[in-house]
């Protein structure tokens, strides 16, 4: 009996970080599921957007899904660079950036990056790198990259608002 209790306690303690991660991203997962659940009924627009990252500006093909509230998702893929990269941005009903999901294929391997924003859409609060490792929020690069994504999302939304 004591062995079972010890194993149960170990299982609970091991699950705590996962539960915290799930709690941290519950709002983001809700928006992601909501938008993807109704994609078939949303209006679709296509266009081109510019993405300035560090010292480089690239043009991307983009597709936006919209409902009565406005643009809820934008998917962008580069014209000028290979690698099979896709940038998916999700927005709340009030137009705030919620979540950015980046996938790319490098040397045949798929890599995923998940970037989470506060409810105001003004600050990146969490970033998950390939392999599930969390990027430290206090780094200078973390803030700069979050600001780049926020600007890109705002610029892209503005193009599709026309």
User: Residue 88 — left, alpha, or beta (φ > 0 → left; ψ -120 to 50 → alpha)?
Assistant: beta
- What was the pLDDT predicted at 161? 87
Of 134, 74, 81, 68, nearest in space to 100 by CA: 74
Give the alpha-carbon dihedral of 67, 74, 118, 129, to 10 degrees.
150
Report CA-CA distances (Å) from 46 to 49, 63, 156. 10, 4, 11
pLDDT digits (tens, 9 = 90+) for 96-114: 999 999 998 888 888 999 9
Q: Percentages helix, strand, coil for the chain, rounded to the nearest 5?
A: 40, 40, 20
| Tokens coding 144 | 């700069």
Number of helices (H), then strands (E), in the chain: 3, 7
Instruction: Provide the pLDDT confidence category of residue 122 given band limits of 50, 70 and 90.
Output: very high
**Do the Cβ atoms of 102 and 112 come closer than 8 Å?**
yes
> For the chain, what is the mean pLDDT?
83
Q: Report DSSP state, residue 129.
A: -
pLDDT digits (tens, 9 = 90+) for 14-25: 443 444 445 688
Q: Is 94 helix (H, G, I), strand (E, B) or coil?
A: coil
The full set of domain ranges for the chain reads: 2-161
Residues 6+ apart with CB under 8 A from 71: 64, 65, 91, 95, 157, 160, 161
pLDDT digits (tens, 9 = 90+) for 33-51: 999 999 999 999 999 998 8
């Amino acid at each position: 009996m004591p062995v079972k209790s010890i194993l149960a306690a170990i299982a609970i303690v091991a699950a705590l970080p996962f539960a915290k991660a799930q709690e941290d991203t519950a709002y983001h997962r809700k928006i992601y599921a909501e938008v993807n659940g109704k994609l078939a009924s949303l209006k679709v627009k296509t266009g081109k957007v510019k993405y300035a990252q560090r010292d480089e500006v690239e043009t991307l093909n983009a597709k936006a899904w919209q409902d009565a509230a406005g643009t809820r998702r934008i998917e962008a893929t580069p014209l000028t660079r290979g690698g099979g990269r896709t940038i998916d941005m999700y927005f709340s009903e009030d137009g705030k950036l919620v979540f950015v999901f980046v996938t790319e294929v490098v040397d045949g391997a798929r890599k995923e990056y998940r970037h989470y924003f506060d409810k105001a859409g003004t600050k990146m609060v969490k970033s998950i790198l390939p392999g599930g490792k969390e990027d430290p929020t206090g780094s200078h690069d973390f803030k700069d990259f979050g600001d780049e994504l926020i600007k890109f999302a705002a610029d892209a939304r503005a193009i599709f608002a026309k």
